[in-house]
Structures are given as C-alpha cells and as structure tokens.
Structure 1
C-alpha cells in the first residue's frame, strides 16, 4: 500500500463520533500526530456524508462504530461505498477480535480501541497515514486476507 498524503495544501481529517468529549479527545490526539492538520467534526453519519459532499476533500476519517443513525457496520459501509478512496479508521469501545476482523474485512484502514492512550492514538493515525493498516497490539487476528480484501473491493464498487 502506498503512503497516504494530503490531497491539498493542508491535511483534513473528519472525526465522526456522537460524544463531544470523545471528539475533543480525538482532536487532541490528531493534533499530537499532525499539528498542522485541519479537523472537522460530525455528530452522525448523516452529518459526515453532508460534510464529505463538500468540494474540499478529506484525507482521513475517524469513525465511532456506535452511532445513533446507523446500526453495526452500516456507517463504515456507507462511507466506503460512497468514498472508496477515503481511509476510514474505526475508533470504538468494542475491542473484540471478531469486531476488529469484520471492520478490516469491510475496508477499514485501521482499528483503534477507545481505551488507547492519546500517544497510542497519535501513533496509530501516523501509521495509517503512512499506508499501514493499524490494529492494536493485543489483536490476535490476522490482517485482511484475500476473501476480506475481495469483500472490501465489493464495497468500493
């Protein structure tokens, strides 16, 4: 995978979470990794899709799995279907290996547990922006295999 770079003068990240306190924490972690980045916040998938429809592109989306206007992986699937080139990193309190594996199989560029320290969040964001697929150190699953990559490709179509 090639490293991801900003598609314009300044990188833009979209933070999608319905909890203001956690949006602020993600913003702080993003600033630690990339002090010059512009962050935009969305409280719902609907709001995120409206922001993404704007002419100015985003370089990364940080998405909470548990959002009020979608169920399960629907938010990730909507983002991956409509914006297949946008790397989407799941940030979630659900840390089970099955959840992480499924998120990766649907094309997530990484999975960051909400229990992670701010410095770990920053390192994860840097890793994804450099082209890696980030998973927590405690994750014992595998990175996406051929079947899950095929599923991610289907989502992009």
Structure 2
C-alpha cells in the first residue's frame, strides 16, 4: 500500500465548538484539531453561555470541547443545557483536575468524555479522534475518581485497594521535607526553584518528588497537589 495514502488524514466535515478555554489552551487545541483536518474556519470559540446557545442554533457541530472550570460560568449547568439542546452532540470536558463531585456532575449532566489539560498533545489527539468516532474518552486519573465513587457506595468498599489518604498511609506518610516540597509545588515552583529555596540539590528534589508521587499514587505534580488537598495534607 502506498504509505502516502495510508497516512492520509480522513477528511472531516462539520465544525467543532470550543467553550471556555483560556488563550494558551485554545491555541493548543487549535493546533491539535488542525492535525485532525479541522481548519480555523471550522472552529467556533466562546465563553458566553448565550453565545453557546446561539451557535448551537446556528449550525450543527461534530463535537463540543468544554472547559468546566470557568470561573464566571457553572460548567455543569452549561453542559446540561447543551446536552438538553442536542442530546446527540458529543461533549468532551477538557479541564484541570476537579473534585469528585464535579467530575460525576459533569458526566451526569451529559458529558461524553473527560480529559485533563495536563495531558500531552499526542494523548489529547488520540482521545479526541476516539470521541469523534463515537468513543467516550476518560483520563485514567478521572476514571479512578469515578471508580472510587462507585466502590465507596458498596458495602465491600473496605476491601478495595487503598487510595488517597489510605494509600499514602499504606505507603508511608509524607515526611516533613516532602510536605515542604509539596507546598512549593502547589505554589507552582519548579524543581530548580525548590532546590534553591530549600538549599538542596536538584537531584534530591527530584527524588523526593518521585517518592511523593509514589505515596499518593499519582503520576503528575498537578495530581499530587489535587490528592493532597483532597485529603487535607495542604490545609
């Protein structure tokens, strides 16, 4: 088979609606969607609920990508309204890690997928392609939150694998130094900045960060601070 033909992107018709994304994330999504054969003219962007309604009336969309963490709009209510307007419209949330109630609320309101901004471009591209084909992409971290919610509702929840505070306790509590580093991470400091602030080497900080991730059962810095806040370690 001709490799040029094999690698050719499928032509996509229609439009996509981007709701609530800040400038940098919007630029990322536009680049990713361009790789999926969506031109700039096929993308509609807004953060205004009234404008969302007008756009949905004006033309059909292949999919809506919604940032549910908008500060001026209730993302769950907006998703619910969009789903009520067109139950067939795939609505994929692309947001920061959120509380369990917010994740469940978005899915119950009609979201057909839930991804995290911290995912790399390749991951987002694969997930969005899946959504366009009728899939329901869920970030593994979000999937774990949903499963925790389901397991917690069962009488046998105590037999489930440890998570959150229980996981941290099972792997060993965070040390005072690890908590100091976690607080710095929560403030947005890099490993180099943390090393300078604590008079430690960058390699030492990297080692502590790996231990923090292991104890909290997470893979990224954002997830670490989210879990720590959720279980009161940063309060």
* Length-normalised TM-score, structure 1: 0.74
In structure 1, the residue matched to 2:102 is 99
Note the C-alpha offset of 1:76.
Answer: 0.6
Q: How many residues align?
A: 133
Give me the CA root mean square deviation: 2.1
Instruction: Give CA-to-partner distance per residue, 1:42-72, whole Å, 9 cap, x none.
Output: 1322222111110x31110000112355224
In structure 2, the residue matched to 1:4 is none
Compared with structure 1, are the counterparts of its residues 43 and 71 closer, same or farther at alpha carbon in structure 2 (3 Å cutoff)? closer
Tell whether the 8 Å contact from 1:29 to 1:118 is kept in structure 2 after alignment.
yes
Structure 2 residue matching 1:105: 3-state secondary structure? helix
1:52 is the counterpart of 2:56: yes
1:15 to 13, 18, 34: 18
Bigger RCO of structures 1 and 2 (CA < 8 A, at least 6 apart): 1
1:82 is the counterpart of 2:85: yes
1:63 is the counterpart of 2:66: yes
CA distance in 2, matches of 1:52, 1:129: 17
In structure 2, the residue matched to 1:112 is 115
CA distance in 2, matches of 1:72, 1:59: 20
The answer for unaligned runs of 5 or more in structure 2 is: 1-11, 151-235
Tell whether the 8 Å contact from 1:15 to 1:61 is kept in structure 2 after alignment.
yes
Larger fraction in helix: 2
Larger fraction in strand: 1
In structure 2, the residue matched to 1:124 is 127
Tell whether the 8 Å contact from 1:112 to 1:135 is kept in structure 2 after alignment.
yes
Looking at CA atoms only, which structure, 1 or 2, has the larger radius of gyration? 2
